[in-house]
Structure 1
Amino acid sequence: MDVTSIREQFPILHQEVNDHPLVYLDSAATSQKPLPVIESLDAYYRQHNSNVHRGVHTLGTRATDQYEGARDKVKNFINASSTEEVIFTRGTTTALNMVAYGYARHQLKEGDEIVLTEMEHHSNIIPWQQAAKYTGAKLKYIPMEEDGTITLEAVRSTVTENTKIVAVTHVSNVLGTINPIKEISQIAHEYNAIIVVDGAQSVPHMKVDMQGLDCDFYAFSGHKMCAPTGIGVLYGKKQLLEEMEPVEFGGEMIDFVDLYDSTWKDLPWKFEGGTPIIAGAIGLGAAIDFLEDIGMNHIIEHEQQLANYAQDKLSTIDGLTIYGPKKRGGLVTFNVDSVHPHDTATVLDAEGIAVRAGHHCAQPLMKWLDVTATARASFYLYNDESDIDRLVEGLQRAKEYFGDVF
Structure 2
Amino acid sequence: MKLAKRTEKTSHSGLDEIFAASKPGMISFAGGYPDSKLFPRVEIEQAFSHTFQSAPATLLQYNSSKGYLPLREKLATRMRNDGINTTTESVMLTQGAQQGIDLAARLLLNRGDGMVVEAPTYLGALAAFDVYEPNYYEVHMEADGMNIDELQKVLMKHEVKMIYTVPDFQNPTGTVMSLEKRKALVQLANIYDVVILEDGPYRNLRYTGEPLPPIKHFDTEGRVIFLGSFSKILAPSLRLGWLTASPELFDGLVALKGGSDVETSNLMMSSVDGYLAENDLDAHIKEVKATYQHRKDLMVSALKKHLPSEVHFNNPEGGFFLWLTMPQGFDSTRFLQESLIPNSNVSFVPSANLVPSKQLKNAARLNFTNVNDQDIETGVEMLGQQLKLALQSKPIRKTATR
Residues 46-84 of structure 1: CA distance to partner in whole angstroms, max 9, x if unpaired? 3433998xxx648679x99x9533322322223251122
Q: Secondary structure at the match of 1:176?
A: coil
User: What SS does the corresponding residue of 1:315 show, helix, strand or coil?
Assistant: helix
State the partner residue of 1:28: 32
**Partner deviation per Cα, 1:323-344 (whole Å, 9 max, x = no partner):** 5545554433448999954775
Change (3 A) 1:104 1:219: same
Q: Which amino acid aligns with 2:102?
A: N
Does the 8 Å contact 1:92/1:220 carry over to 2? yes
Q: Which runs of 5 or more residues in structure 1 are unaligned?
A: 1-16, 251-270, 350-354
* Residue 262 of structure 2: aligned partner: 273
| CA–CA distance in structure 2, aligned partners of residues 128 and 41 of structure 1 | 33
What secondary structure does 1:314 align onto?
A: helix
Q: Which residue of 2 aligns with 1:193?
A: 194
Specify whether residues 182 and 398 from structure 1 end up closer, same or farther in structure 2 by C-alpha distance, changes over 3 A only. closer
Structure 2: any 5+ residue segments left out of the alignment?
1-23, 394-402
Partner of 2:376: 391
Is the aligned partner of 1:83 residue 2:88? Answer: yes
What does 1:258-337 align with in structure 2 at a 5 Å threshold?
A: 273-274=262-263, 276=265, 278-279=267-268, 282-283=271-272, 286=275, 290-293=280-283, 307=296, 310-319=299-308, 325-327=314-316, 329-330=318-319, 331-334=321-324
Distance, in Å, in 2 between the alignment partners of 1:150 and 1:318 is 27
Q: TM-score, normalised by structure 2?
A: 0.64
* 8 Å contact kept, 1:26–1:378: no
Matched, 1:239 2:242: no
Q: Taking structure 1 as reference, are residues 40 and 85 closer, same or farther at Cα in structure 2, changes over 3 Å only? A: farther
Question: Deviation of residue 104 (structure 1)?
Answer: 0.6
CA contact (8 A) 1:114 1:128 kept: no
Is the 2:163–2:197 Cα contact (8 Å) retained in structure 1? yes
> Hey, what does 1:118 align to over in structure 2?
119
Question: What amino acid does structure 2 have at the position aligned with 1:156?
Answer: Q
Q: 2-side partners of 1:356 and 1:32: how far apart?
A: 19
Cα distance, 1:368 vs structure 2: 4.4
Matching of residue 169 in structure 1 with residue 166 in structure 2 = yes
For the 8 Å contact 2:120–2:140, the answer to whether it is kept is no
**Aligned counterpart, 2:225:** 217
- Deviation per CA, 1:18-46, whole angstroms, max 9, x where unpaired? 8xxxx99778323436464x234323443
CA separation in 2, counterparts of 1:228 and 1:378? 17
Alpha-carbon displacement from aligned partner over 1:259-285 (angstroms, at most 9, x marks no partner): xxxxxxxxxxxx871462532663377
Tell me the distance in 2 between the aligned counterparts of 1:192 and 1:243: 18
Question: Which of 342, 362, 366 matches 1:376?
Answer: 366
Q: In 2, are the aligned partners of 1:231 and 1:281 still within 8 Å (CA)?
A: no
| Equivalence map 1:27-46=2 (5 Å) | 28-32=32-36, 34=38, 36=40, 38-46=41-49
Contact (CA 8 Å) 2:117, 2:165: kept in 1 or not?
A: yes
1:91, distance to aligned residue in structure 2 (A): 1.4
1:249–1:341 CA distance, 2 compared to 1 (3 A): same
Per-residue deviation, 1:99: 1.0
Contact 1:115-1:139 within 8 A present in 2 as well: yes
Rounded Cα–Cα distance in structure 1 between residues aligned with 2:78 and 2:349: 32
Contact 1:25 1:378 in 2 (8 A): yes
Aligned pair count? 339
TM-score of the superposed pair, with normalisation by structure 1: 0.63
Counting aligned pairs with the same residue, the percent is 14
